[in-house]
Chain A
Amino acid sequence: MIPHTPGWSWELRSDAIWTAPPEGKGAGVIRYIERARPLTRIRDVVKTFERDGRFRVVRTSTPERIITREGEYGALVTVDGLLLEAPVQRTVATVFLDDFYSLIDGLALHADHYVRVADQVRNLALNDAHWLSPLRRRRFYYVPPAGWAGVAGLLHAFWFPQDHPANASKLTVLPAFPVPPGSPSFIDDVAKDQLAFGDSFALETNSEATPIVTAGRIPGSQWDGLGTAGGKVRYRDVHILEDGRFAYPLILESPPERRDENLVLLRKVTESIESLPQVGQAVTQASQKSMDYWVE
């Protein structure tokens, strides 16, 4: 829920809240949808705007990553367009939650109001509150393996190489798990569980944990297992990081002939993992990466 800005109107409609500056909607208007489903890339959200035959997109800015005051991830773009042939600007923010996103769609009808509406959308997005516990299973940021294609689960992501299924490799990115306080063996327990997880894979041997630490100073451990899947030999490698609040598990399955190259990719993905933001944390310049894979 966005906060009410003093002086701005507040109109509750069946599907959205509409808020406008004191001088009226002629200056601009902001539409807020608290729960939109399914999760959608922000650039695909922008594409839906043209379903309204009055509006045409002219230019969309590169998505900017934001973190709300609650520590939730979001995105923000600026869309220059034509509303019935008149130039207008929309500033659009989405806040990604577990199985939905909130949408803040600001429309400025005159150039004089572009900055003002954009600032207001940003402010509302940063203060968009959903009161979901910060300690819950959550998606986290990482850079996907280059050239692999993703499929989204509820909170999981599954990545496959271009030549799948001939190449039976698969990377599974689980959601981050909250680490229970006072449980030093938590990530080892998760890793062991994941090494043998699933009916289709039969674990035969596995290594002990080897410590790892990323360049971002997130520690963790790596495990490898050997087994069979569908009668064929498969390696299963588990990398799991832990930042004191969350555990971040990655599971890679490889046929023997692909394992070496896959391990290189896995290390890169592991290195790219970012800790989930704390409440009140701002996005850093260094993490302004492409948002393409988000909600894959």
Chain B
Amino acid sequence: MDGVISWARQHGVEVVLAPEYPDQPERDPRRDFGGVVRGTPACVLQPASVADLAATLRTLAEQRQPYRLRGGGWSSGGQVIADGGAVVDLTRLDRIVSDRPDASEITVEGGATWVAVCKRLRQTGRRPLAVPDNPHMTVGGSLAIAEVGDTGSVHGTVISQVQRLTLVTPDGEIHRVASEHALFRYALGGAGLTGAIAEATIRTMVRPATLWARTLGWRDLPQFFGDAQTNCDLRLYEIFQGMLSWVEDAPVAYQLAGNFGAAHQAGEPGLYEIWPNAVTVPEGRDRLEALSAPIPWDRMRPGLVLRLPLVVGVEALGQLSDFVRSEPVLRKHVASVGILVMKPDRRFPLAPWPEGSHLAVLVVRPTFPTRDQGLSAEIVPLLRTVAQRALELGGRIGHGSIDLELEDLARLQFGSELEELRRLRAKTDPEGLCNRGIFPGLDAVD
């Protein structure tokens, strides 16, 4: 690694070494948001331009040094931690490259956060089609894991809104690609396995800042899933996301359902098409303001994101509900399970899509009061059991989820696309240096 460090210093790329690593959890490269996996990288490289990023990756390839790409560090399973290797920190690539309201698009660097993008777009009354629920994520990071957006029910994951990409492949080449290019399709949702997303051009839309939404509740889970599918198909509510909770041990599905608008629209079409058991009055709220508040890192919430075929959604949610209620540790720490129903975008073969026209996204994020009382040895195996069961039901696991310790995870996640991924990777990263080890079974070194 000395050669890399020396090169970085000579070429003006910021490099941070272990003694200088900050202790604040949100900046500490030895951990991620999950806090479960820990490791000390040999160095952290912080390129501040696309050219510097390309040179950095080229140098790492020449020096044959494995590394992990890191954005905001919001992963739950140590995906951004490189114990003994290098971390390429992309957060200094955070510029708004260009904003074109007339073309309904904005181009930003991969290290920009969605909060920054949304604040810029707000100046012209716009927003991206979809924004991660955690807008403090970087654009590049959320695109790499095909994060579910807040409007996922109608707009899918955040990758569906991308028009063009600047991708730096592990051989240090800069590729400016659009949808017809294989690198475009394999980078979005590709967990950084084909390189670093340096810039992204994102589709935008004119929308008022206020979300007029109400909470809908269902005791009948089959009815809920039917209604959620109806919302996808008929595009009734652009925000339609919520959680499963328990009332006297009986599962109840809640959804926040609403549309952006200057005022609440009387006679909203959604209430004619779906049949919840409970409906609250609509309230207007500034969505960006609501989401921009800092998320406390001290609450370690390693997440497990399950993406299941909708046809098994009722069964899976029922099983998950029973499992959570039957395990005291889960019962104590899992107060709710996030739910969203959406359609897959099969242009992107590496994103975790199960079979079927619709999928149910279930998110389990146990709560813990402080980071030191963390994820205990007792809860991780339970979450792995949940993940295993989801895989057996034909599901996929969200790329940023907890470490599942599955030796054949690459095969389970990528299925028939695995060989094409290996072929692409062999071209630009024959030694599998970039994000090595994230998906066991992907590279020969695994």
Contacts and interface: CB of A to CB of B under 8 A. Distances in A.
B235 A25 contact: no
B272 A13 contact: yes
B234 A109 contact: yes
A25 B273 contact: yes
B182 to A, nearest CB: 25
Best-buried of A26, A29, A54, A83 by chain B (most CB within 10 Å) = A54
Interface string B223-259: 0000000100111101000000000000000000001
A112 to B, nearest CB: 13
A45 interface: no
Given A13-B272, A54-B238, A109-B235, A85 B265 contact: no
Interface string A232-244: 0000000000000
Contacts of B233: 24-26, 109
B259 A54 contact: yes
B235 A83 contact: yes
A26 B235 contact: no
Contacts of A83: 235
B274 to A, nearest CB: 11
B155 A84 contact: yes
A84 B343 CA distance: 15
B334 to A, nearest CB: 32
Interface in B15-42: none
A25 B232 CA distance: 11
B129 interface: yes
Contacts of B205: 85
A86 B203 CA distance: 12
A53 B265 contact: yes
Contact of B234 (A13, A26, A52): A26
User: What interface size band does chain A fall in?
Assistant: 10 to 19
Nearest to B233: A26
Contact of B259 (A24, A29, A53): A53
A36 to B, nearest CB: 15
Contacts of A29: 234
A80 B446 CA distance: 52
A13 B267 CA distance: 12
B261 interface: yes
A44 B18 CA distance: 68
Interface in B127-184: 129, 151, 154-155
Interface string B199-238: 0000101001000000000000000000000100111101
Contacts of B67: none
Nearest to B229: A26
Contacts of A53: 208, 259-262, 265
B296 interface: no
A54 B272 CA distance: 15
A153 B403 CA distance: 75
Given A25-B230, A53-B260, A54-B259, A84 B265 contact: no
A252 to B, nearest CB: 46
A32 to B, nearest CB: 14
B231 to A, nearest CB: 11
A84 B269 contact: no
A173 to B, nearest CB: 37
A116 B235 CA distance: 20
A25 to B, nearest CB: 6
A215 to B, nearest CB: 49
Interface in A23-49: 24-26, 29
A119 B179 CA distance: 33
Interface string A85-119: 11000000000000000000000010000000000
A201 to B, nearest CB: 48
Contacts of B151: 84
A148 B234 CA distance: 44
Nearest to B265: A53
Nearest to B268: A52
Interface in B386-414: none
Contacts of A24: 233
Contact of B238 (A13, A25, A52, A84): A84
B205 to A, nearest CB: 5
A26 B262 CA distance: 28
B266 to A, nearest CB: 10
B113 to A, nearest CB: 23
Given A53-B265, A54-B259, A84 B273 contact: no
B235 A86 contact: yes
A86 B130 CA distance: 13
B126 to A, nearest CB: 11
Nearest to B358: A26
A86 B260 contact: no
Interface in A46-101: 51-54, 83-86
A51 B262 CA distance: 11
Contact of A52 (B230, B260, B262, B269): B269
Contacts of B236: 54
A109 B230 CA distance: 12
Contact of B129 (A25, A26, A85): A85
Nearest to B207: A53
A47 to B, nearest CB: 16
A179 to B, nearest CB: 45
A52 to B, nearest CB: 7
Contacts of A52: 265, 269
Contacts of B208: 53
The 8 closest A-B pairs by CB, nearest first: A26-B233, A53-B261, A84-B235, A84-B154, A83-B235, A84-B238, A85-B205, A25-B234
9 contacts: A25-B234, A52-B269, A53-B260, A54-B238, A84-B259, A85-B129, A85-B203, A86-B235, A109-B235
Given A51-B265, A53-B208, 17 more contacts: A25-B233, A25-B234, A26-B230, A52-B265, A53-B259, A53-B261, A53-B262, A54-B235, A54-B236, A54-B269, A83-B235, A84-B151, A84-B235, A84-B238, A85-B155, A85-B205, A86-B235
